[in-house]
Structure 1
Amino acid sequence: MKRFHRLLLSVSAGALLSLSWLGFPGWVLFFAFVPLLYLENFFFNHKEGFPAVSLWGHVFLAAIIWNVLASWWMAKVALVGVGAAMIFNAFLMSLVWWAAHSIRRNFSSQLGYISLVVFIVSLEYLQFKWDIEWPCLQLGSVLANKVKIIQWYEYTGTFGGTLWVLLLNILLFQVFRNIQQKSPLKKTIPSSTVLLVLLVVPLIISFQLYSSYKEKENPINVAIVQPNVDPYNEKFDMEAETQKLDDFLRLAAEVTTDSTDFIVGPETLFEHQTLWNEATPDSNVFLKRLQNFLQQYEKADMVFGVSSIEVYENKADVTYTAQHNNNVTYDRYNTAMLFTKAGEIQVYHKSKLVAGVEKVPFQKYFSFLKNNYIDLGGASGSLGRQQEASNLIAQNAVISPVICFESVFGEYVTEYVKKGAELIFVITNDGWWKNSRGYKQHLLFSQLRAIETRRSIARSANTGTSCFITQRGDVLQATRWWEEAAITGEINKNKTLTYYVKHGDFIARSAVFISVLMVLMVFVKRFT
């Protein structure tokens, strides 16, 4: 095969892998890896003339194209940081393919393909767990643009989707190779049959789950406010904050009635640091106005986002993310706040922070990095965080407060549900991504969380898309992008725990275990 044709296969693979993130159906992924598998097989069959590392460059080219086309919108926030992350992620992706290819060369094709699958799944799992998370290109997640085909995620989570995509690609390639080599029917028919079964059976199961799933009637009336504040031109003085409060209350008044249980506002609705000192709520004039508003209605409570601070009086309480200004030591938080009609307050501090934006990766271990960050709101330093998920417990429901990036983490969201969450409120500010695929892709993650946990979701996004999401993952009353809006509707509470909630990412953990065995096997052979 000529070099030009090899490069063409790499470019084709990168483009095909990107399509589902660009709005094309998720099933495009069912054959998107075939060009790379064809390349891998070429280098395997010609290993005398090409070292194993020859595959690495071809996969890296495909991976960098995939990363750029699928995630370019992230560069709107930080071009250099996001560019570096894309290159690093492409390197890891290509490293996985090289490792699996090497195992195939030195052991067997079967072990090589098994290694490829478990290594890719393990890499995806790593992207959810370490300090420079990059989980947005998970294969199983993008299938959310067709929720009717992934209802079985309530059992497997998104890693079940990743496994499905990889196995379908490998089997499709095997069928293609058999046809290309004019293999006898006794060899072609079995692989074709397995491919058909693997494709059709999950679809049948999913369609059946979708059609048969019925939500238990346990309604909560929710009003969602989309204030549409431009984050790139936002100001943080008291005049600007007061205007945001006025606009929020005006929009809330349009849809709030005596039947309303909750009014939900977006992430970082208010950001005046001094005002939102968690130790001095009694002096917060905004809370007084919000309480006066709630007094007009029979039972409504509010859930909304603020940038809050916690001031430390004792040195023993100071965290590694604490900041020091004007002789005051404090932590800043991206906070979800429950504020009741009676004036009671509960807070949740965002735990899954965005690397390079809300936190400096590995700052806990390298304190000199403390002030190397990307400024997204007139603040300095990394944000504080709480260590685990916690719910907001209101009179009428137990709420899971999921803030922005946290909606990407399926297993993390199950922690709320295991602690009793009956509903999920997602609050976010997707205005940072402007009118790109970013805010559309972000919505898909909320649909996934609804299916995995079978929890109804109310989603308030500053600039859109705000909506309600059923326990089957269907989006209702979606607002338009970059417009003020307020919507109201009923969503049902649920207390049932799905298999995925109980067991989490068991597929990914199994893949990690098998990957370790594969690596140990390689070392044993090399040194014995």
Structure 2
Amino acid sequence: MKTYLYKSEILLIVLSAIVSGIAFTVDNLGVLMWISFIPLLYILIRQENTFIKIFKIGTIFGTTYYLVILHWIFNLYPFEWLDLGKAKSMLILFCGWILISLLEGLVIGIVLGIFKYLKVKSNLLNIFTIASLWFVIEYIQEQGLLGFPWGKLAISQVDYLPVIQSVSLFGSSFISIIIIVFNGMILEGIINYKKSKVIAMKSIFIAILIFVINISYGYFSLNEENYGEKVNVTVVQGNINTTEKWQNGDTLKNFNIYKKLTIEAVENSNKYGKKTEVVLWPETAIPVDISNDSWILEEYKELAKSLNITFMTGTFYTDYKNDCYKYNSIVAIDSSGKIEDIYFKRHLVPFGEALPFEEFLLEKIPIIKELNLVDGDLKAGEKSVIIDDNNSKIGCLVCYESVFPQLVIESVKDGAEVIFIASNDSWFKDSKAVYEHNNNAVLRAIENNRYVVRAANTGISCFIDNKGRVVERLSTLKQGYINSSVDIINHNTLYTMIGEYIIYIIILFIVCVFLIKKFI
């Protein structure tokens, strides 16, 4: 059995990946995802393939797909805050773009290669098998320090809220199953149309039925209303660019920008009868360690007391009382000026906040140490921390953490009634990365039936309700603030309750298919 690919096959695979990437990246073109997998599925299902050939197919598709959706990586150019020079910056970005895309492609290639041992005579079963393998792919991409679940198919559907409401049942990867099965059924309808119109119509009917059931659930879910307590929150966006933010001489200046905006926001909220109870600033809004720089902590305490609010901000913090490690954190200060609690970021950004395989990499590629955005490695937190603000129980995430569903599940299971995200996307200016990052927050809101409050240094800052609707929003590269009332919700979704156990169901299905192939 041949292991090589014909040029026509490669073209189909690349076409499928590019269209999928466009569906993921371009606004209002997510609908393309419902047909973009047809060429890929055609090669996988309608031909006899070896493991090596399927591995090549998956790797080519995955690498191309990620090359398309990660084009925004070049918005980091020219690493102004590191002063590496234009040529060196471009080389690093190009190598990173290729390497990340290739690694994600290899994951897709290896997992899809298993299909060789699962393919049966029933194409309907084969389609569900491939969809299940894709679920496994997205699960693997969430794991470990190098986890990078950026390309989940569900993110392409955020513009269509009725389509993604079912993530509250089985998570965002459930949408991937629906999309791939739909593609497969349409493919079967096209292929069988001339041979048997009955089979073709049955296949298309199944595709439409699956879509209608999913979207009907979505409309039903969107029409549900919430009744309960509310808390008034203000989000402040200083819009301070990366270079200015990290310059030591600008610390006081930047603090005064945030302070002025905060005072104005709280005073205005009083005028309109919705007094701000909680204020949230972005990730490392003022990038100093509050355990060392007592003046900034005293300023934070005074701000909370003078405005009679709970004040929360992203900050660095060194835990001298316990382990003496430095953390990227969110500190909460109550209206009496007392620190309520501190949340330590649990999932650090590799090569930005922590250096994986440090000894090996520093020996082989010494320049890589220069890419760390902080002085020395940060320590990852080990647990979710719930800020009990009397009126609400707040779960916290810092920036990149919002792309990992399990972190939000842990917070909600620990009692979070609303989720606060302190983020910093200023590195990426106004690129697609900023919007795709925010789309992840939309999915987290729906998955867990929680309002999400997001504060970002240069945007997007927003309030997202428990159905994924953006209630208030401050766009990128704008200075200002937004106020809104947030519903306090303590009813958990099915997905929150069963969480990662879904992967075991998927694996059980794959094992059953293997046994069917082997013994029947």
Normalising by structure 2, we get a TM-score of 0.87
1:344 to 331, 335, 338: 338
CA distance in 2, matches of 1:88, 1:63: 9
Check whether the contact 1:218–1:493 (CA below 8 A) recurs between aligned residues: yes
Matched, 1:470 2:465: yes
1:137 partner SS: coil
Q: Which residue of 1 aligns with 2:10?
A: 7
1:457 partner SS: strand
Matched, 1:31 2:35: yes
Letter in 1 for 2:214: P
Check whether the contact 2:162–2:216 (CA below 8 A) recurs between aligned residues: no
1:302 to 311, 316, 320: 311
1:498-513 equivalences under 5 Å are 498-513=493-508
1:20 to 20, 23, 41: 23
CA distance in 1, matches of 2:214, 2:279: 38
1:20-419 equivalences under 5 Å are 20-22=23-25, 23-44=27-48, 51-77=50-76, 79=93, 80-104=95-119, 112-179=126-193, 182-211=194-223, 213-237=224-248, 239-257=249-267, 258=270, 259-273=275-289, 276-277=290-291, 284-297=294-307, 299-311=308-320, 330-345=324-339, 346-361=341-356, 373=369, 375-380=371-376, 382-419=377-414
CA distance in 2, matches of 1:86, 1:216: 44
1:508 is displaced (CA, Å) by 2.6
CA distance in 2, matches of 1:375, 1:216: 47
CA distance in 2, matches of 1:269, 1:24: 32
Letter in 2 for 1:510: I
Check whether the contact 1:139–1:161 (CA below 8 A) recurs between aligned residues: yes
Deviations 1:114-134 (A, max 9, x none): 442222211211111223101
Q: 1:362 to 1:267 in 2, by over 3 A?
A: same
Deviations 1:181-229 (A, max 9, x none): x122332232222122111111111112112x11214221111100112
Matched, 1:497 2:492: yes
Check whether the contact 1:43–1:55 (CA below 8 A) recurs between aligned residues: no
Deviations 1:100-143 (A, max 9, x none): 135328x8756644442222211211111223101011122332
Q: 1:62 to 1:225 in 2, by over 3 A?
A: same
Check whether the contact 2:190–2:200 (CA below 8 A) recurs between aligned residues: no
Matched, 1:431 2:426: yes
Deviations 1:267-299 (A, max 9, x none): 0112223xx22xx6xx711222223233333x3
1:84 is displaced (CA, Å) by 1.3
Deviations 1:224-268 (A, max 9, x none): 10011211443342x322112111101111211351101110001
Letter in 2 for 1:198: I
Q: Which residue of 2 aligns with 1:322?
A: none
2:483 partner SS: strand
1:477 partner SS: strand
CA distance in 2, matches of 1:38, 1:452: 32
Q: 1:362 to 1:509 in 2, by over 3 A?
A: farther
Q: 1:2 to 1:354 in 2, by over 3 A?
A: closer
Deviations 1:379-430 (A, max 9, x none): 12x3101112121122321111111111112222011111111111111001
1:74 is displaced (CA, Å) by 3.2
Letter in 2 for 1:153: V
CA distance in 2, matches of 1:108, 1:251: 62
Q: 1:509 to 1:130 in 2, by over 3 A?
A: farther
Letter in 2 for 1:159: S
Q: 1:284 to 1:202 in 2, by over 3 A?
A: same
CA distance in 1, matches of 2:356, 2:513: 29
Check whether the contact 2:354–2:372 (CA below 8 A) recurs between aligned residues: no
In the alignment, structure 2 segments of 5+ residues that lack a partner are 77-91
Q: Which residue of 2 aligns with 1:327?
A: none
Report percent identity of matched pairs.
Answer: 20
CA distance in 2, matches of 1:520, 1:270: 58
1:129 partner SS: coil
Check whether the contact 1:392–1:400 (CA below 8 A) recurs between aligned residues: yes
CA distance in 2, matches of 1:224, 1:69: 33
1:310 is displaced (CA, Å) by 2.5
Q: 1:286 to 1:351 in 2, by over 3 A?
A: same
Q: 1:401 to 1:364 in 2, by over 3 A?
A: farther
CA distance in 2, matches of 1:63, 1:337: 39
Letter in 2 for 1:295: K
CA distance in 2, matches of 1:373, 1:508: 36
1:506 is displaced (CA, Å) by 3.5
RMSD of the alignment, in Å? 2.9
Q: Which residue of 2 aligns with 1:452?
A: 447
Check whether the contact 1:157–1:505 (CA below 8 A) recurs between aligned residues: no
Check whether the contact 1:348–1:401 (CA below 8 A) recurs between aligned residues: yes
Q: Which residue of 1 aligns with 2:85?
A: none
Q: 1:200 to 1:471 in 2, by over 3 A?
A: same
Check whether the contact 1:266–1:461 (CA below 8 A) recurs between aligned residues: yes
CA distance in 1, matches of 2:431, 2:297: 35
Q: 1:172 to 1:12 in 2, by over 3 A?
A: same
CA distance in 2, matches of 1:402, 1:14: 32
1:158 is displaced (CA, Å) by 0.7
Count residues in correspondence.
491
1:145 partner SS: coil
Q: Decide which moves more: 435-444 or 364-373.
A: 364-373
CA distance in 1, matches of 2:463, 2:192: 47
